[in-house]
Chain A
């Protein structure tokens, strides 16, 4: 009987635990997590917006651990791994032996080195349920919110709080909102929607300093323009960093992220890593995928993890839905095709006859194939005229054996 230990109960950790259980019905599986409860960070805004409670943002069944006979040790952060003795240490004086270990510690929010921001007790991230709880509490004391960053995380927080009557200011260094997922037009659509809900945007502007009270709380943010913006608390949504401390403290190779090979093995024997802590991607589907591959490799099914295509996302704010895939900025030699109606906007960027970027705003039904076309560099030079009318029928194939579809390109 083998002992599997997983550090982290996010997308990668939970998927690994479940995959291990499916393939190894009798082995011991333990999940240690800093988080008190399993939750999907992609649903934190539903919690903060008081649409759902903590169980409502759990992405597994309430009895997941019992049902799968997996031991969950919540609220414990692993302090050190002894990779020679194959032991993890947590809490005051606890240890747990393993035969195979998975590090799936995720990523944490990042606070840029702006004076007072790193020390102030009223600066929060928006990554974990504990962050949402802290923001909820702060919101009870004051409703003027300053958000740094207008990516998906910043806008998630804004959408949740504006419905609750917050007075929100969002500072974005880039000249448009959601700079990674949008172009100028798509950004303007979302910006208007947020402004209609009472949010104020400061674009191309950063926070450069702060005024603090006697307890170190930031009471005013000083912008790069010199303007002072009074606030009750601050939400940092200016990017994340892989959580690598555990690797650094245990002699496991890491730079910006934990170093893994194509089998998701770390530099230490029998220690694997998956999810955001590997820096391979930062989106939920890829973390789940890595959890699955890590589990396979942990039990000796040698499966190479295929490099993910990291530039992809969907967004849905106030019922405005968008799909963005690939690079949306214009690079040399690229060709832009666009189509716009009052309710829909589509944009395709072709480079050498291949789709390198795709954006669709409005109804995004049936658009999954565009991710496939970008990721696989499918030659579309003969189909340019119909780029917005493509469907799987253009590549239609059937696997006669099992009846599944198969691409013909």
Chain B
């Protein structure tokens, strides 16, 4: 399976990864970051860059954990660990918006959609042939896809 590896020492907090994530998951039909509304709560990034308080940055990305807290808490069957790809997959249709996944992720990764109807989490950009948009957008190679 693949995982996005993080080297926080290389991150300079430019947040290109966040913008790329928002762009890759926008639902307004538009394309290109110039037309992306960064202030619309519907365009939320699935990754976050947080300052470490010492001048550096800590990228917080879904780890698609080997033993995922989120899927272990899901009462609707919407979140599942795919044993072949290693990804923690989310089925929006099945989700009942109870948000026990949000409560259970010890790293605080899952978010709630602006309309409170679904959870928001990294999907590894499975809809993009070239792989996760965040990784391609990082100018510092602070994040990269590696085989685990």
- Residues in chain A within 8 A of chain B (CB atoms): 11, 22, 40, 42-43, 46, 57-61, 283-285, 288-289, 292, 312-314, 316, 319-321, 323, 325, 363-372, 391-394, 396, 398, 402-405, 407
| A294–chain B nearest beta-carbon distance, Å | 14
Residues of chain B within 8 A (CB-CB) of A392 are: 50, 58, 60, 107-109
Bound-state Cα–Cα, A3 to B125, Å? 42
Q: Please state if A371 and B76 are interface contacts (CB–CB under 8 Å).
A: no
B73 at the interface (CB under 8 A from A): yes
A-B contact pairs, 9 of them (CB 8 A): A40-B96, A43-B76, A61-B77, A314-B100, A314-B103, A319-B115, A368-B110, A372-B106, A398-B8
Residues of chain B within 8 A (CB-CB) of A363 are: 112
The stretch of B21-29, B30-38, B63-71, B133-141 in contact with A is: B63-71
Residues of chain B within 8 A (CB-CB) of A369 are: 106-108
Residues of chain A within 8 A (CB-CB) of B100 are: 283-285, 313-314
Q: Which of B103, B109, B116 has the most CB of A within 10 A?
A: B103
| B103–chain A nearest beta-carbon distance, Å | 5
B51 at the interface (CB under 8 A from A): yes
Q: Please state if B63 and A403 are interface contacts (CB–CB under 8 Å).
A: yes
Bound-state Cα–Cα, A372 to B106, Å? 6
Question: Given that A289-B72, A368-B104, A393-B51 are known contacts, is A403 also in contact with B98, CB under 8 Å in the complex?
Answer: no
Bound-state Cα–Cα, A313 to B112, Å? 15
Which residue in chain B gives the minimum CB-CB distance to A363?
B112
Bound-state Cα–Cα, A284 to B4, Å? 30
Q: Please state if B102 and A391 are interface contacts (CB–CB under 8 Å).
A: no
Which residue in chain B gives the minimum CB-CB distance to A292?
B72
Bound-state Cα–Cα, A393 to B105, Å? 14
Q: Please state if B6 and A403 are interface contacts (CB–CB under 8 Å).
A: yes
Q: Please state if B77 and A404 are interface contacts (CB–CB under 8 Å).
A: no
Which residue in chain B gives the minimum CB-CB distance to A38?
B77
Bound-state Cα–Cα, A313 to B99, Å? 9
Bound-state Cα–Cα, A288 to B69, Å? 11
Residues of chain B within 8 A (CB-CB) of A59 are: 74-77
Known pairs A42-B96, A284-B73, A368-B104 / 10 extra A-B pairs, C-beta < 8 Å: A59-B75, A283-B100, A366-B110, A367-B103, A391-B108, A392-B60, A393-B51, A402-B148, A403-B148, A404-B65
